[in-house]
Amino acid sequence: MSTLPPCPTCQSALTYQDGALLICPECAHEWSEAESTAPPAEGRVYRDSAGNLLQDGDTVTVIKDLKLKGSGGVIKIGTKVRNIRLVDGDHDIDCKIDGFGAMSLKTEFVRKA
C-alpha cells in the first residue's frame, strides 16, 4: 500500500518517489513532497487580459484567434463565451463555445464583456 499522495495535476494514485521528487507516470508531473503537503491555494484571484476581476458565470470575449489542437479549427477574435467556470490548472477557464463544445481557455486570451 503506497502512502504517497496522488498527483496534484491528474489525481493519479500511481505516483512514485525519485530522490526528493514525486513523479506521476501518467502525466509526467514532478513535484516536491513539501508542495504536496502545502495547503491548497484558497482565494485565488483570476484576472482577464485587461486586469479585470473574473468570477464564475461571467461572460468573456476572446481577444485573439485561437487555433485548436487536433481539429484544425479556429476560435475567432470577438467570440463571446457565456457562463464561464474558473478552475485551477494550466487553463483557468472551463466553458462551452457554440459550434466547438466544451473546452478550456487561459485568462490571458479573454476580456470581460
pLDDT digits 0-9 by tens, 92-102: 999 999 888 89
The rounded radius of gyration (Å) of the Cα atoms in the chain is 17
**φ and ψ at 102, to 5 degrees?**
-75, 140
Q: Provide the b/e sequence for 71-104 (b: ≥16 CB within 10 Å).
A: eeeebeeebebeebebeeeeebbebebeebeeee
Domain boundaries, the chain: 1-37, 57-110
Q: Is 21 helix (H, G, I), strand (E, B) or coil?
A: strand
Q: What is the CATH number of domain 57-110?
A: 2.30.30.40
Average model confidence (pLDDT) for the chain?
85
Gap between the Cα atoms of 103 and 91, Å rounded? 9
Q: What are 67-81's pLDDT values in tens digits?
A: 988 877 899 999 999
Q: What's this model's pTM, rounded to 2 decimal places?
A: 0.61
> Is 1-37's fold the same as 57-110's?
no
Q: What is the CATH number of domain 1-37?
A: 2.20.25.10
Residue for cell digits 481539429?
A: 71
